[in-house]
Amino acid sequence: MKSTIAIIFSVFATAIIAAPAGTTFPSVTVSLANDLSGANGHATIEANGQDRSISQLFKNTPVGTNGHVVASSAQLTNFPQGVFCIIKKGDAPIGILNFRRTFADLDGNPHTAIPQNLDGAILNCQV
């Protein structure tokens, strides 16, 4: 039994040592636009599946004014094949972007632009 545990431990140790030191992920650039005011801003993140605060990403862009990020649409502007991004506010998805569908209307009304307050929203991209 002890030898089995020792063998399993050595296999896991070898696997850990053989694993790459750092995994790099492709970059994705997402643009937010306030289609009423004409303001837009962009942010570039790694497509590593981590939630990113939209407030933090866009606070120093033209769509981030007076401490609030306000936008009516989102667009992928630089992305790898196979990317998938989601914009969520709370648990509700408000925008889905991917390499085939690069534009999202954040207000849910394709006939008019209604800027949305994106405070508390997150952006998550992965490949």
Mean pLDDT (the chain) is 86
Does the structure show a pLDDT above 90 at 73?
Answer: yes
Q: How many domains does the chain have?
A: 1
6 domain-assigned: no
41-64 pLDDT, tens per residue? Answer: 999 999 999 999 999 999 999 999
Q: What is the pTM of this model?
A: 0.80
91 domain-assigned: yes
Does the structure show a pLDDT above 70 at 5?
Answer: no
Confidence class of residue 14 from pLDDT cuts 50, 70 and 90?
very low
106 domain-assigned: yes
Q: How many residues are listed for the chain in this entry?
A: 127
Structural domain range at position 105: 27-126
82 domain-assigned: yes
103: helix, strand or coil: strand
